[in-house]
Amino acid sequence: MIVVTGATGHLGRLVVEALARKIPADQIVATVRNPEKAGGLAALGVHVRTADYDQPSTLTEAFAGAEKLLLVSGSEIGRRVPQHTAVVRAAKAAGVNHLVYTSVLGADTSTTVVAPEHRATEEVVRASGIPFTFLRNGWYTENYEQAVAQALATGAILGSAGEGKVGGVPRADYADAAVKVLTSTGHDNTVYELAADEAWSYADLAESVGRIAGKPISYQDVPAEQHRAILLGAGLPEPIANMLVDNDRAIAAGELASDSADLRALLGRPTTSLDDAVAALLKG
């Protein structure tokens, strides 16, 4: 039995759907916080179980019979370590033989805001003694959906990343990589750094959007503090604005790209190109 946590989230749902195309649905457990939102998953024929990271008592029962478990990282920054620790403990109690965790690119060296919680979670997993695989996912191109929409309206993508590169691909690439690990052998106690074959800059993103949309789009680079002020002026909460500016700092420093070919190797194909990712964003 393969258990996928956070199965109604963007990444978790893609993993469950891809698994159901590869193995019998009755061998898949989709754990969710709110079963009422899991109708589409139940329709696939997979088992749907309630599991709340903040309620450890729900986890052991949800993981019963699991041979492999994919821990999709929680979305609540600041709460991830206790939440993930509860999942790891429940997995250990349930006798899980292989725990796969969606971490972040370069978790052991990254200076991004989100990296410390991922780094701490990796330490918890290692200490548990459960054979593991860390999928250190790079950036999702879907993160730029709003920026692309704004670019179509204003003619510009704005940021403070300079000429820095992003090794971003669509979530579906990361989901397919997770499915490969969950349905094959040889991945125990392995760390994969997952990023695009060809990293791209914000200028590259603007050029791609403009070419595909058929209208001129430019990249406007601004100082970090000005970028932050613009985001706050647009109504973004301060923590989100700070995180976006910090992400651009990390991009400028080369932290969101990688020369690793791990993603391509797991997929058995090239990673999705920037143009194909942009075309998907433009289709909505």
CATH T-level fold of 142-166+197-258+269-283: UDP-galactose 4-epimerase; domain 1 (3.90.25)
pLDDT score of 35 = 86
CATH T-level fold of 2-137: Rossmann fold (3.40.50)
**How far is 91 from 31, CA to CA, in rounded Å?**
13
The domain limits of the chain are 2-137, 142-166+197-258+269-283
3-state secondary structure of 60: helix
- The pLDDT tens digits along the chain (284 residues) read 999 999 999 999 999 999 999 999 999 999 999 888 888 998 999 999 999 999 999 999 999 999 999 999 998 888 899 999 999 999 999 999 999 999 999 999 999 989 999 999 999 999 999 999 999 999 999 999 989 999 999 999 999 999 999 999 999 999 999 999 999 999 999 999 999 999 999 999 999 999 999 999 999 999 999 999 999 998 989 988 998 999 999 999 999 999 999 999 999 999 999 999 999 999 87
**How far is 277 from 170, CA to CA, in rounded Å?**
6
Handedness of CA 280, 147, 198, 182 (dihedral sign): negative
Query: What residue type is assigned to position 154 of the chain?
Result: T
CA angle, 180 as apex, 93 and 268 as ends, to 5°? Answer: 160
